Amino acid sequence: MKKISVISTLTASLLLVGCGDSSSSSNTNTEDMQKTIGIGYYVDSAVAGINYECGSQIGVTDSLGKFSFEKDQNCTFKLGNIVLRDINGTSLEDNVTILEDNKDVAKLLQSFDKDGDPSNGIEILPEVHEVMNEQNLSKVPTDITELVELVDKVKEKKPKEFEGEVVTNEEVETHLDNTRQRLETSGVKTQYDVEEENIKNDSDTKRPETSNGSDSETKRPETSNGSDAETKRPETSNASNSDTKGPETSNSLDSDTKGPETSNGSDSETKRPETSNGSDAEMQREIKKVSIGYYVDSAVEGVDFNCTTQSGTTDENGTFTFEDNESCTFTIGNVLLREVNASSLEDNVTIFEDNTKVAQLLQTLDSDGNASNGIEILPEAHDVLKERNITKVPKYDSDLVDIKDDLKIKASERYHGDIVSEQDAREHLEETRKKIEEHNQRTQNDVKAIRDAEREGEKSDREAMSESHEDANQTRNSNEERVLNRESNQERTAEQEAMSESHENANQTRNSNEERISNR
């Protein structure tokens, strides 16, 4: 198979999207192509020979790395039984380039390139899949000895054709950097660009369905254990600390939130820094009529919030405060995670952070590396992002690696996290989403949808009232016209009667005169 450089790939991709490719491995009919099928490209350099499954579309990437996908469906790329990358349907659009920037995966692909030169494209032979399956591999191999043995096995199968060698980490990084620069210089849109656009767009357009829609209660049900503490909230009408503390639990091992007091003497109290909006939130609510909300992937502690008059750092329940008609922003360092419009806020609202790249960042920065029990962002994480002059949610896994490494140095005794993959981040988000729906918690998307419906209802009422007023005006005008017509008719009748009487009087006078003349 002829290999094509990444620049050629980019140029050819623009030409081929419109006209299609008869050599595509995926079986699609014309109707499907017109209605639901998009085209994308899988690249380290352009990667040929990788299996993909994207909804109804199943096949093998060609020399351009091209694959077809069913819109709104996720994509999986595999080598043998090894999943190289999962892509959410929301990160796909027609002509998107899927950049494979995971260093372990890139090392695997470059090491098993047919001619050993990834700069002119990467071609994976069918025999590479066979070797991976024969070794029962289901995860990306990273051990250098294992990689060498696998390369040797492929050489045994294809001694004349396969010239691959295990590449070094430095070679992997250099090649990835070159590919990334070429993509950016050429203006090619990757999955990260699509996701960044999703961040900029109004996230309120996505609304998880709830079991009771607009009638859902705004208060969180009390819980007897910590298993659902990540998404359940204590009743807010209780004692003064109920707005900022989660329910007490008898066993912290099953807790989905970090920080609630437990009976087993955990160190969660010393782990959590005090925040500016914590213990006196109820006093603020009484004096200033301040509302509270919760920022969750799991409950996220340590994120800065700014809501015009209210600012601070989220506590162990993700609590933040705001006043009516205020918009809120959530940041780590100078990185904007989310902006929520005032129309999506109400007392006790849950701000669900459902953007995959933001969730990946939060879960990677989590102090103990276990997002299922809550997420804690250390102050040092803010420092690292500021020192690296990062102002946007990182697109690439390599950026997360650098951030993680710096954080381990700054907070070596408190930070025990690691890189979380997009797939793992997405799976955790889905678990959180289900819990939110199960407990009928009202998210920013629910609030916006309800208010939009109310505004639409008010608009309909105003239109109906306006129509009613218009009908009334028409009726009144019609009545006035009839009255005027009647009065006009009466006036004409009176004039006619007067004229008739005048004519009659004249006739009588004439007759009388004629009679007198006749008598004379």
pLDDT in tens, 277-328: 444 444 444 445 688 999 999 999 999 999 988 999 999 999 999 988 899 9
Looking at per-residue pLDDT, the higher value among 199 and 253 belongs to 199
User: Are the C-beta atoms of residues 292 and 348 closer than 8 Å to each other?
Assistant: yes
User: Are the C-beta atoms of residues 328 and 306 closer than 8 Å to each other?
Assistant: yes
pLDDT for 254: 39
Q: Go through 328-364 and write b for each residue having 16 or more CB atoms within 10 A of its CB, e for each that does not.
A: bebbbbebbbbbbebebbbbbbbbbbbbbbbbbbbbb
How confident is the model over 442-457, as a mean pLDDT? Answer: 86
pLDDT for 190: 94
pLDDT for 501: 75
pLDDT for 147: 95
State yes or no: pLDDT of 207 exceeds 70: no
Q: How many CB atoms lie within 10 A of CB 168?
A: 13
pLDDT for 499: 75
Looking at per-residue pLDDT, the higher value among 258 and 162 belongs to 162
How confident is the model over 369-381, as a mean pLDDT? Answer: 95
Query: Could you read off the pLDDT of 316-327 as tens digits, one per residue?
Result: 999 999 988 899
How confident is the model over 453-468, as a mean pLDDT? Answer: 72
Query: Could you read off the pLDDT of 408-419 as tens digits, one per residue?
Result: 999 999 999 999
pLDDT for 514: 73
Q: How many CB atoms lie within 10 A of CB 307?
A: 22
In the DSSP assignment, the letter for residue 247 is P
Tell me how many degrees the CA angle 140-126-152 measures, rounded to the nearest 5.
65
pLDDT for 27: 45
pLDDT for 263: 39
Mark out the alpha helices in 187-250 (DSSP H runs).
191-200
The SS3 assignment for 338 reads strand
Q: Measured between alpha carbons, how far is 281 from 301 in angstroms, rounded to an integer?
A: 16
* Strand-strand pairing, 57-60 and 51-54: antiparallel
Judge if pTM exceeds 0.75: no
User: Are the C-beta atoms of residues 216 and 446 closer than 8 Å to each other?
Assistant: yes
